[in-house]
Amino acid sequence: MTGSPSPLSTTTVGDAGVPVVFLHGLFGQGRNFTQIAKDLQPEARSLLVDLPNHGGSAWTDRFDYVEAADLVAEHLAGGVAAAGPVHVVGHSMGGKVAMVLALRHPDLVDRLVVVDIAPAAGGSLGEFEHLLDSLAALDLSTVTRRSEADEQLAEHVHDARVRGFLLQNLRPDGGTFRWRANLELLRRELSTIGGFPDLGDATFDHPVLWLAGERSDYVRPEHGPTMRRLFPRTTLVTVKGAGHWVHSEQPDVFVTALRTFLLAPG
């Protein structure tokens, strides 16, 4: 590999329309939203962001939501948001980054969509701990094809869809593979990733759509008061038949929700 990763690697889908920024969750990459972005065309021009320690973006020495949000803010202010605020959609970890971004830099964000995460600590961290341990256990020195990694991972992760999502983080490196995501840091900082920073009295008084998966426990009734204190113009919608990965499990419903909330006139 030559050169150094960019602080934030991004991809643009579409060349016209309302700017929409997508922030992915743990293990994800901006490209996870490629089809969603295409489905929003031609009304939207989407920026797909690789968050720090993921995809093509640079690795860091620690995980910090404020630092990540400020990095995204700097990138947006010098680019897609230079002419005015943009819509932001964030899933899971990316949803927390999106919330911190809106609270700290409200001038950059028009409307906000938070997907299956709450501004609180908790959720099924044990699941992610298991996935991180399973990925770390793979012996990449013996892997020459992605299918071989899939075979090894299948011993610990039985859902083929989840394995396919995780193995998108594998990148060819000579005759073998390496991880694009900073797995060691993500595992070490998992409790921080599962938390949410105290931002004092900050609030975001723009419209917010809060999408929760019906079969997920990341958004619970007790989270409502905090969400509405920080984001007083919040509308909560529960997506039937969806777990944590709402956009991949119910993509048609997800696109319809985004179109109605972000792109409808008026």
Measured between alpha carbons, how far is 13 from 30 in angstroms, rounded to an integer? 11
C-beta atoms surrounding 252 within 10 Å: 8
Rg (CA), the chain: 18
189 flagged as catalytic: no
4 flagged as catalytic: no
What's the chain's length in residues? 266
State the catalytic residue, choosing from 92, 134, 216, 248.
92
124 flagged as catalytic: no
Backbone angles phi and psi of 91, in degrees to 5: -110, 130
DSSP code of 51? Answer: -
Strands 9-13 and 44-50: antiparallel
Which alpha helices (H) appear in the chain, and where do they start and end? Answer: 34-39, 65-77, 93-104, 125-136, 146-153, 160-166, 183-188, 190-193, 224-230, 246-249, 251-258
Tokens representing 216?
């997920």
Tokens representing 33?
């939203």
H/E stretch holding 91 reads strand 86-91
CA distances from 142 to 1, 135, 138, 166, 175 (A): 20, 14, 9, 18, 10
State the catalytic residue, choosing from 24, 54, 91, 244.
244
Cβ proximity of 120 and 96 under 8 Å: no
Of 105, 116, 129, 123, residue with least CA distance to 186: 129
State the catalytic residue, choosing from 127, 155, 184, 214.
184
Return the active site residues.
92, 184, 244
